[in-house]
Amino acid sequence: MGLCLRPKYFWSRYHCLLENRMFVSKKIIIAAFGILALVVFRLISISSPHHNQTTIFSQLPAQLGTEAPTYDSVPTSANNQTKTKVLNVIDGDTFKIEGEKIVRLIGIDAPETSKGGECYAQEATNKLEEMILNKEVLLEKDVSETDKYHRLLRYVWVGDVLVNEALVLDGFAKASSYPPDIKYQERFKEAERAGREKGLGLWGDTCTKPTIKPSSTTSPSTGGSYVCDCRKTCSQMSSCAEAQYQLNICGCKARDADGDGIACDTDCQ
């Protein structure tokens, strides 16, 4: 029904006026119902669980959950990181950096060269040299700054490779927990499990076979990647690893004047 337009007679005009008022009232009522329905629909949509989940998840940081249980190929935080150059490798888990500081890889334990030359010690030392010697590396601190020997305790990255983990994975070291520095310990345990299953390095046959150490000598003789020569002085050594080799494998006791098991202390400690 539309609006009533100008009737001719008075009573018709009165009747038309009533119709117009009724028409306007109906329009107002319809509009009010429409607004009310819109408000109710909006309240329902806001209070729905799906809406709340969407709102909450849209506000979460994009990196939530990336630290665990997934494994990152780079350090997860820029905090506690330092770039430096490696000057010398002492053994399979210890090396010297710029500023004459000694760094101990945390979370792992490589065979010792200072205990008479444990099985696979030289191989572990050579591997660490191959990975980091004379290279710029990224040192990552966990909780502790140093150990009781004042060595820096660090994870070491070369590009996207976590050196600590790589040594364990290839059988050059064992996973070893040193609380409170346990950020990557689950990674190291998994790496050791994989290395054991493949029979790599320490988990292979090499360390189950008896080995014969060369006796002390004063004349050059071939021995692995180095040559036994007790006439060489510390300044003539190509690296701390060679000095340790001369001491442990070749029996050159002159390289360990104070008898602490570390060759060429002035240069390598």
pLDDT in tens, 210-235: 444 444 444 444 445 678 888 888 87
CA angle 124, 74, 198 (to 5 degrees): 40
Domain that holds residue 34: 10-49
Q: Are residues 191 and 229 in the same domain?
A: no
CA angle 141, 200, 151 (to 5 degrees): 25
Residue 171 has pLDDT above 80, yes or no: yes
Does the predicted TM-score (pTM) go above 0.75? no
Whether 123 maps to a domain, the answer reads yes
Q: Are residues 240 and 159 in the same domain?
A: no
Q: What are phi and psi of 141, to 5 degrees?
A: -85, 145
Whether 244 maps to a domain, the answer reads yes
Q: Are residues 90 and 184 in the same domain?
A: yes
Q: What 3-state DSSP class applies to 196?
A: helix
Whether 57 maps to a domain, the answer reads no
CB 125 within 8 A of CB 174: no
Whether 4 maps to a domain, the answer reads no
Q: Does residue 45 or residue 230 have the better pLDDT?
A: 230
Looking at the structure of the chain, the number of domains it has is 3
Residue 38 has pLDDT above 70, yes or no: yes
pLDDT in tens, 57-105: 344 343 333 333 344 566 656 678 999 999 999 999 999 999 999 999 9
